[in-house]
Amino acid sequence: MIWAVFAVMLVFVGCYVARFRDHDKEVWSPPAAWLRAGIYFCFCLIVADLSGALSAAVASPLIYPGQLEDPWWLLSTVVVLIFIIVAYWGYWYHNTLRFGRQLDVLPQLVFGLCWGLTTGLYFLSFWHLALMLGEGWPLWLVWLLAYTMISVWQALWMDMYWDVYVSPEHDSPESIRRKVPRTHIPNMTLCLTYFAVYQNYWIFIGLQTIALLAASFGMRMPAPWSRQLTPPARQVPGLLGLPRAGGYVEEN
């Protein structure tokens, strides 16, 4: 299966190079954004396979025997689920700029599902990498290494690529400052801790999928065939002078 994913990724890369190699970066293009996202989704699956996260998830049951009788597991599961729903379907969803983009259920559902499933697996790849690098380490130290790697990756990837070249403009500088400590940081802190303790692969992946479905619908990700104009991400200098997403600022 992973060779099929690799083949699909090569097709996406070929289509992108052929069609959008010289595309004006000041014009946000829905098909270009979907191709970039598709390449990333395939990359996440390949890394998950190579790290062992994919095979571990496939072999893992949704719920382990005895967990439904464990009150602490039940309480923990309810707490992280409520947080994800409130943080993403509540706060993130309602504090996102849309510039008149319309709700388009099917493409936004597909995008959110692909984004959430592959991202959840990719995060678990960092957990498996931490287990390999920290063989024999106590659990809290493995957690800390995985958490650090995920945090650094997300900070650089989302800020300097995803929110510049994939997502349509959907934030202001103020909403960025507020969303990160109120949604993204506690999401990974709670969910990775939950996973470290209980090892529920599919619940962890499901939580990230619920969150990113809210992001896909919340920012109104345009369909790849959409002709509706949306502003490109406002870029500001980032690490090493490379562009990063700065958030929308009114021209006046």
Q: Please give the C-alpha separations between residue 37 and each of 54, 162, 248, in angstroms, as whole numbers.
A: 19, 8, 22
CB 242: neighbour CB atoms within 10 A?
Answer: 13
> At residue 198, does pLDDT exceed 60?
yes
pLDDT recorded at residue 146? 98
pLDDT above 90 covers what percent of the chain?
Answer: 91
Domain definitions of the chain by residue range: 2-21+28-245
Query: CA neighbours within 13 Å on the CB side: how many for 97?
Result: 19
* Strands of the chain, DSSP E: 235-237, 243-245
> At residue 118, does pLDDT exceed 90?
yes
Look over the chain and give the mean of its residue pLDDT values, rounded to a whole number.
95
Beta bridge partners of 245: 235
Grade residue 88 by pLDDT with cuts at 50, 70 and 90.
very high
Angle between helices 185-198 and 105-133 (to 10 degrees): 60
> At residue 199, does pLDDT exceed 70?
yes
d(CA 79, CA 81): 6
> At residue 251, does pLDDT exceed 90?
no
Grade residue 252 by pLDDT with cuts at 50, 70 and 90.
low
pLDDT tens-digit series, residues 131-187: 999 999 999 999 999 999 999 999 999 999 999 999 999 999 999 999 999 999 999
pLDDT recorded at residue 99? 95
Grade residue 239 by pLDDT with cuts at 50, 70 and 90.
confident
pLDDT tens-digit series, residues 141-156: 999 999 999 999 999 9
Q: Please give the C-alpha separations between residue 70 and each of 64, 66, 74, 115, in angstroms, as whole numbers.
A: 11, 7, 6, 31
Residue with tokens 């692969």: 201
> At residue 10, does pLDDT exceed 70?
yes
Grade residue 15 by pLDDT with cuts at 50, 70 and 90.
very high
The alpha-helical segments, DSSP class H, found in 134-172 are: 139-157
Query: CA neighbours within 13 Å on the CB side: how many for 42?
Result: 19
- Average the pLDDT over 219-245 and give the result: 91
Show the tokens assigned to 150: 């995920």
- Average the pLDDT over 36-53 and give the result: 98
Closest listed residue to residue 131, CA positions, set 121, 120, 142, 118: 142
